[in-house]
């Protein structure tokens, strides 16, 4: 074993960063044995230096992150500060000054991953980011390495623990969205401002990263169709259960049947209770991968939190340090297919549509005619009426999203349709 330690700089010391530092200290001997050399934490960049950080030598604390990554003797920079800037500049500066990088920054990778990979390649450094997608769940490396000889056609997953907790509580307890969100906040699953989670931004960033790796093409967060869960109601959950389904916020990345394009989308959807993802409860994550040779694979586990995310960071740290000792680098960006990302209008799926209609003869015929004129085939219809008002629930066969949009627009023009109560996609069949 080499006695001279590999030097590590840590950018950020919040929930994840402090756990990374703790594990590096308490498991120092094990990490050294696995890597083949000791690792030494030589600096921790923070915004609030006065905060007490148990187990971390105050002499390591600095507010000058730029000076830290410019030292020139750093082997690996671990970036867990998040956001676009200053993280992007700090990472590229680390590459320029001889350090490889381990990051958990999904937003930055989904927005500017291509430029970061190019900088890593230019300077001969590693860029690893297992922790950016699904916490402790090994997913990036299996897609990037284990399935490198296979052809992945679809990635379908629950990649946000906050939204899964909320939807699970709505399903199991009958709570409304606001009640379930309040419980998630009280338990620490939701931030004070939950927008990134409940509006699907967090899941969309992860979907962009997964699609890029799975299909060997460049997908940015702006390419991902995004819908959140704020409009999901207790009535939607109940309707799903009547169909033998549950509602999940899904990240779905697919290769087109002709292999000439890909799609990436995040939205709530009904999935059958028989589907493996339907049993993923509370704040857990799971990703279902479909590959030509490997078949169907499912990855499951805690997708967020200090310890799970730190586990993924440390796994990357070990891999990068091993590469350093071997004077090699791991796999970089693979974007050789250069496949375009198709718009949401071309996505084909099933739909569950709930309409408020007048309770009188001929309404169902009018509605069915609209669907037929738009080329959308109806699978099932359920109608309930009372005192001149009725609800009509239509489940379609598979149809393009653009056709469904035209159908809804035409339905709203019918004088017998009082309103479109909800629209939800049906997946997993």
| Residues noted as catalytic | 206
Read off the tokens for 334: 């693979």
Angstrom CA distances, 29 to 25, 32, 40, stand at 9, 5, 11
Asked if 21 contacts 52 with a C-beta cutoff of 8 angstroms, the reply is no
**Strands 417-426 and 262-272, bridge-based pairing:** parallel
Asked if 416 contacts 363 with a C-beta cutoff of 8 angstroms, the reply is yes
Q: Could you list the beta-strand ranges (E) of 169-324.
A: 225-226, 245-255, 262-272, 284-291, 295-302
Provide the H-helix boundaries in 78-128: 87-96, 106-123
**How far apart, in whole angstroms, are the C-alpha atoms of residue 207 and residue 71?**
35
Q: Could you list the beta-strand ranges (E) of 362-415.
A: 378-386, 389-396, 399-400
By CB atoms closer than 10 A (0-12, 13-18, 19+), residue 270 is buried
* 336 upstream amide cis, omega within 30 of 0: no
Asked if 77 contacts 99 with a C-beta cutoff of 8 angstroms, the reply is yes
The secondary structure element, H or E, covering residue 308 is helix 306-325
**How far apart, in whole angstroms, are the C-alpha atoms of residue 309 and residue 249?**
21
31: left (phi over 0), alpha (psi -120 to 50) or beta: alpha
The secondary structure element, H or E, covering residue 161 is helix 161-173
What single string gives the DSSP state of each residue in 208-250?
A: HHHHHHHHTS---GGGSEE--STT--HHHHHHHHHTTEEEEEE
**Strands 100-103 and 127-128, bridge-based pairing:** parallel
């Amino acid at each position: 074993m080499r006695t001279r330690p590999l030097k590590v700089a840590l950018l950020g010391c919040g929930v994840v960063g402090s756990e990374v530092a703790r594990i590096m200290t308490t498991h120092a001997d094990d990490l050294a044995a696995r890597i083949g050399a000791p690792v030494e934490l030589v600096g921790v960049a923070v915004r609030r230096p006065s905060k007490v950080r148990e187990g971390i030598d105050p002499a390591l604390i600095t507010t000058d992150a730029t000076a830290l990554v410019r030292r020139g003797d750093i082997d690996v920079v671990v970036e867990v500060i998040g956001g676009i800037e200053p993280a992007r500049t700090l990472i590229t500066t680390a590459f320029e000054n001889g350090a490889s990088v381990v990051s958990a920054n999904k937003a930055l990778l989904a927005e500017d991953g291509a430029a970061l990979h190019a900088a890593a390649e230019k300077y001969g450094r590693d860029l690893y980011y297992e922790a950016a997608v699904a916490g402790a769940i090994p997913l990036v490396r299996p897609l990037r390495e284990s399935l490198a000889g296979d052809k992945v056609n679809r990635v379908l997953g629950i990649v946000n623990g906050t939204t899964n907790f909320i939807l699970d509580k709505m399903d199991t307890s009958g709570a409304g969205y606001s009640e379930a969100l309040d419980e998630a906040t009280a338990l620490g699953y939701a931030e004070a401002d939950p927008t990134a989670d409940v509006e699907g931004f967090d899941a969309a960033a992860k979907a962009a990263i997964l699609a890029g790796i799975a299909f060997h093409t460049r997908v940015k967060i702006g390419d991902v169709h995004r819908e959140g869960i704020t409009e999901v109601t207790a009535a939607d959950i109940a309707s799903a259960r009547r169909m033998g389904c549950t509602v999940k916020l899904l990240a779905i990345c697919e290769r087109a049947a002709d292999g000439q394009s890909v799609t990436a989308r995040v939205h709530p959807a009904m999935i059958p209770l028989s589907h493996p993802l339907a049993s993923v409860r509370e704040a857990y994550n799971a990703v279902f991968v479909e590959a030509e040779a490997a078949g169907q694979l499912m990855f499951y586990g805690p997708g967020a939190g200090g310890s799970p995310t730190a586990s993924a960071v440390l796994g990357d740290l070990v891999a990068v340090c091993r590469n350093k000792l071997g004077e090699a680098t791991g796999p970089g960006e693979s974007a050789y297919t250069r496949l375009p990302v198709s718009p949401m209008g071309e996505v084909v799926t099933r739909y569950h549509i709930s309409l408020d209609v007048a309770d009188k003869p001929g309404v169902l015929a009018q509605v069915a005619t609209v669907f037929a004129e738009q080329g959308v085939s109806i699978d099932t219809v359920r109608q309930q009426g009372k005192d001149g008002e009725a609800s009509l629930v239509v489940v379609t066969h598979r149809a393009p999203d653009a056709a469904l949009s035209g159908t809804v627009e035409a339905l709203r023009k019918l004088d017998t349709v009082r309103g479109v109560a909800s629209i939800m996609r049906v997946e997993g069949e």
